[in-house]
Amino acid sequence: MQLYDKDLLSVQEVRTLVEKAKNAQKELALKNQREVDEIVSSIAEAGVRNARRLAKMACEETCFGICEDKAVKNVFASRGVYEHIRDMKTIGELEYNPEKKLRKIAVPVGVIAGLIPSTNPTSTALYKSEIAVKSGNAIVFSPHPNARNCILETVKVIRQAIAEAGGNEDLVSCITIPTVQATDNLLKHPDISLILATGGTAMVRAAYSSGTPAIGVGPGNGPAYIERTADIPLAVKRIMDSKTFDNGTICASEQSVICDEDQKEEIQKEMERQGAYFLTPEQRRKLGGFILRANGTMNPMIVGRSAEEIARLSGITIPGGTRVLVAQEDGVGREHPYSNEKLAPILAFYVGKDYRQVCDICCQILHYEGAGHTFSIHTKDRDMVDYFAKRVPVSRVVVNTPGALGGIGGTTGLMPALTLGCGAVGGSATSENVGPFHLMNVRYVAEGLRELSDIRAEMPGASEEKIKVQGNAQEDGCIQQMEIEEIVEQIIKRLRSM
């Protein structure tokens, strides 16, 4: 009975939150660009001020990741996102083309449903709040139950920041009783205009099947190719930095390292020198049986854990100081657990006889899981970048940079984001890093430039037809003139004979 009551309470809470968000969004729609930007700036400043405190809460509640790295992500999601979107025109008239007499006007979608994962809970809430308000919308969050408290505290910080800037704090709100029924009702609520889904595959599928327009992202399973012209120590450092950042919880982090066959020994030694441990065949088998559940999905016990903790949980012994666990792989699919996404400091290690075979392996991995997401390449050969960019089924090819930070726009020129679109190949509505422009519509105001007669005059053969018509008219005119003269002459003759 208590569970039933909880479900009812959670559904009623959703209805109340959406109604308040709808009213707050109507108020926001009356504000100008400067007023909206002040609210977004206030959210960003509050996120930076509370970055460490919220990071600590997230680590303690979820047991995922590294506190200092989560603080970095909070600052990135606050200040980093704000600095990128600060000067974007998102309210009112966006553009006017006097030559075409065409105006573009921003139209907010209204109230957005935001799904928040447990891997990046506080940073995702900050990021989604900023881009939602920047584009003139309100947002209601459905938190992952395992990160409920830290997400609610983040929303509390955001709401206070909104109020301090003169906005309605109900622009950002969050379900406090997270249940399956609450999330389902939020996604299907008639006043929800768009879903912004970040989370597991099941959650993203639920968003797309809700009947409400949705922007969802699929899993990341990005391979990283260390090409033969690469600076190997630097390439390995970048990969190790990426894979250990917040213990691998960013979906753009590398999941596999691939190299040419004749460079395998050199790259393996360099990885070991920088803290990677290559598993023995027995350890590889034992850990492989632990990282995936019976249904083939990632075991949550490995997510965001350190290499030493994962080794302890799976019952294997590794050297002290190990940063990343590496398993040599020779295939892709369910029987090859290391070919899956692993949001932890675990890497698969593949070799190919040349770059062509390496490309084939990368494509196999991505089509198995991670299509449309991210691919990393370390090389000094621009032709190699072009070769892979034309072939790998991803939306982001990041070059000579840590995959995790490059994919989210931390070390590259991409839009800073924690929701990374995977395009059609990945079942996503966009292939871009999601920003304010994805959360609005554009209304076009177009003035007339031509008349129908102008269009007809431009039709193929119109000139020849005009000449022909004019010619016929002239001929008809001559005949009519001759007939008139003949009639006049006959009348004159009759008059004279009288």
- Domains, the chain: 2-217+436-445 (3.40.605.10), 223-415 (3.40.309.10)
Is residue 433 within 8 A of residue 446, CB to CB? The reply is no
The bridge status of strand 102-108 relative to strand 440-446 is: antiparallel
Alpha-carbon span 300 to 476, nearest angstrom: 90
The closest of 374, 434, 309 to 59, measured between CA atoms, is 309
Residue 328's beta-bridge partner residues?
A: 349
Pairing state between β 102-108 and 93-97:
antiparallel
Beta partners for 214?
195
- pLDDT at residue 491 in the model: 72
> In the prediction, which pLDDT does 498 show?
61
Collapsing DSSP states into helix, strand and coil, what is residue 108? Answer: strand
pLDDT at 497: 67
CB contact set of 272 (below 8 Å; sequence gap of 6+): 278
Residues forming beta bridges with residue 111, ordered by sequence position: 138, 192
What is the helix (H) or strand (E) element at residue 364, kind and residue range? helix 355-368
59, 150, 251, 259: which one is catalytic? 251
User: Nearest to residue 44, comparing CAs of 148, 135, 153, 162?
Assistant: 162
How far is it, in rounded angstroms, from Cα 235 to Cα 237?
5
Using the structure block, give the residue that is written with the tokens 């089509």. Answer: 367
Q: Are 63 and 74 in contact (CB under 8 A)?
A: no
Report helix, strand or coil for 58.
Answer: helix
Nearest to 393 by CA among 419, 370, 418, 417: 370
Q: In the prediction, which pLDDT does 466 show? A: 55
Backbone φ and ψ of 487, nearest 5°: -65, -45
Question: 478 an active-site residue?
Answer: no
Reduce the DSSP state of residue 35 to 3 states and report it: helix
The whole-number pLDDT of residue 464 equals 58
CA dist 318 and 284 (Å) reads 12
DSSP 321-346: T--EEEEE----BTTBGGGS--SSSE
Picking from 150, 157, 142, 141, the residue whose alpha carbon sits closest to that of residue 122 is 150
Classify burial at 468, counting beta carbons within 10 Å of its beta carbon; exposed 0-12, middle 13-18, buried 19 or more. Answer: exposed
Q: Is 146:28 a contact under the CB 8 Å cutoff?
A: no
Q: How far is CA 50 from CA 54, 170, 235, in A?
A: 6, 20, 33
Among 53, 101, 44, 116, smallest CA distance to 76 is for 44
CA 228/CA 150 separation, integer angstroms: 44
3-class state of residue 360 by DSSP: helix
Backbone angles phi, psi at 378, to 5 degrees: -115, 115
Half-sphere exposure of 334 (CA within 13 A, CB side): 5
Question: How do the pLDDT tens digits run along the chain, 498 residues long?
Answer: 455 688 899 999 999 999 999 999 999 999 999 999 999 999 999 999 999 999 999 999 999 999 999 999 999 999 999 999 999 999 999 999 999 999 999 999 999 999 999 999 999 999 999 999 999 999 999 999 999 999 999 999 999 999 999 999 999 999 999 999 999 999 999 999 999 998 777 778 888 889 999 998 878 999 999 999 999 999 999 999 999 999 999 999 999 999 999 999 999 999 999 999 999 999 999 999 999 888 888 999 999 999 999 999 999 999 999 999 999 999 999 999 999 999 999 999 999 999 999 999 999 999 999 999 999 999 999 999 999 999 999 999 999 999 999 999 999 999 999 999 999 999 898 999 999 999 999 999 999 999 999 999 989 876 655 555 455 545 554 455 656 677 767 777 766 666
Instruction: Return all residues near 469 (Cβ < 8 A) that are at least 6 apart.
Output: none
DSSP state of 433: B
CA–CA dist 177, 272 (Å, integer): 46
Contact assessment for residue 78 and residue 124, using Cβ atoms and an 8 Å cutoff: no
Return the amino acid letter for 2. Q
Cβ atoms within 10 A of the Cβ of 14, count?
A: 26
Other beta carbons within 10 Å of 261: 12
